[in-house]
Amino acid sequence: MTIAIIWLVAFVFFLYMLLARWEASVSAKLDALLPAVMRSHDDRYVLAPALAVLLATAIVAPVEVLMVAIIIGVVALVATKVTGFVMDKATLR
């Protein structure tokens, strides 16, 4: 129960900070990171809670977040290598 309360407090804090600083800093940073297809003018109320969930989870369970990031990185690396190998072997006519 304590972990859930800590997570909720962290979530509310991060959500408040993200929404309060959206125009000043968060929006510009996300525009630099996101591809043009994913950018919109009304993404504040979608991306702020998503980022708050990620940050609160990273506060409460940093090892799990790190393991998920490592697994996603390994899967992406393997997929990139396999795709490159297949494209090298494919004959395009």
- Tens digit of each residue's pLDDT (9 = 90 or more) over 52-86: 999 999 999 989 889 999 999 999 999 999 999 99
| Cβ contact 65:7 at 8 Å | no
Long-range contacts of 69-76 (CB under 8 A, 24+ apart): none
List the structure tokens of 38: 């994913």
Amino acid at 30: L
Higher confidence at residue 43 or residue 82?
82
pLDDT in tens, 5-42: 999 999 999 999 998 888 887 777 877 877 777 777 77
Reply yes or no on whether the pLDDT at 93 is more than 70. no
* Residue at token pair 């977040």: 65
Residue-level pLDDT at 29: 80
* Residue at token pair 């006519």: 93
The predicted model scores a pTM of: 0.69
